[in-house]
Amino acid sequence: MRGGYEGYPMTRMMKILCISVPPLVVLTLYFSQANGAQGASEVSAKPEYVAEAPLPKGWPKPGPYNEVSLKRFPAYRVAYTDAFSSSFAFWRLFRHIKREGIPMTSPVEMGMKEKGSKGEKLGMKSMGFLYQDEEVGKLGKDGKKIEVRDVPAMQAFSYTWQGDKNGTTMQKAKLALDEAVQKAGLRSEDYRVMGYNGPRTPDAKKTWEMLLVLPAKAQLQPPVEKP
């Protein structure tokens, strides 16, 4: 083990351990160190969207990550329910699409409302399952707690991230969107969070997109992308 193991350089600590610790233990410690470095590299890797289900017709792919962008979204059909509990709302909508024969799509929409003394936080008020397009299913109520509606095309400031959806990441996204809409000289309280992944995807790989929908009469021209 003088020069390392199959091309892996030995650290000073490994050399010291070789003097007083059995070789098998040294190898175990060494590869734990190597794997840890590899894991850190994977965590810091560039975010990449993990697609689990088809997007609705014309729906833009989530991103860019970790920055605000101005995006246009097509009109879409969606089944809504009130969401005092995200778990109850999800399974209520899931039973609806199974009962009606509606294929699952991504994302799941969460309508948000401002909370706190200064509106610095967001709480969920509704949940929606998006249909593939406006030709699928039928409009109207399904019982007392679900309603299928057509949502008009919209323009929104978007902030996408990968990882946990918690108070810290939500506040970061909200602050970035609030700053963007303020710079544009507009006002909006129409926040929506789009969840693109389910429980099969590890939390670290889940993609979330917060939208701040702009007023219909205040449409902006997106910046021209350089070739």
pLDDT at position 132 over 60: yes
Cis-peptide into 202, omega within 30 deg = no
Can you give the pLDDT at residue 6? Answer: 42
What residue segments make up the domains of the chain, in order of their start?
A: 12-43, 68-213
Can you give the pLDDT at residue 217? Answer: 83
pLDDT, mean of residues 70-94:
91
By mean pLDDT, which of 16-25, 53-62, 147-156 is the weakest? 16-25
Q: What is the DSSP string of the chain?
A: --S-BTTBPPPHHHHHHHHHS-HHHHHHHHHHHHHHHHHHHHHTSPP-----SPPPTTPPPP--BTSEEEEEE--EEEEEEE-SSHHHHHHHHHHHHHHHTPPP-S-EEEEEEEESTTS-EEEEEEEEEEPSSTTSS--EEETTTEEEEEEPPEEEEEEEEES--SHHHHHHHHHHHHHHHHHTT-----EEEEE---TTS-GGG-EEEEEEEPPTT---PPPPPP-
Ramachandran quadrant class, 16 (left: phi over 0; alpha: psi -120 to 50; beta: rest): alpha
pLDDT, mean of residues 23-34:
40
Q: Between 1 and 68, whose confidence is greater?
A: 68
Q: What is the mean pLDDT of the chain?
A: 83
pLDDT at position 42 over 60: no
Which candidate, 30, 35, 31, places its Cα nearest to that of 15?
30
154: its two tokens: 């919209």
Can you give the pLDDT at residue 218? Answer: 76
CATH number listed for the domain at residues 68-213:
3.20.80.10
Q: Can you tell me the distance from the alpha carbon of 199 to that of 77, in angstroms, rounded to the nearest whole number?
A: 24
User: 111 with 81: CB under 8 angstroms?
Assistant: no
Rg of the chain on CA atoms, in Å: 24
pLDDT, mean of residues 186-205:
95
- Each residue of 164-177: pLDDT tens digit? 999 999 999 999 99
Q: Can you tell me the distance from the alpha carbon of 181 to that of 197, in angstroms, rounded to the nearest whole number?
A: 27
| For the chain, percent of residues with pLDDT exceeding 90 | 67
pLDDT, mean of residues 125-154:
96
pLDDT, mean of residues 44-64:
92
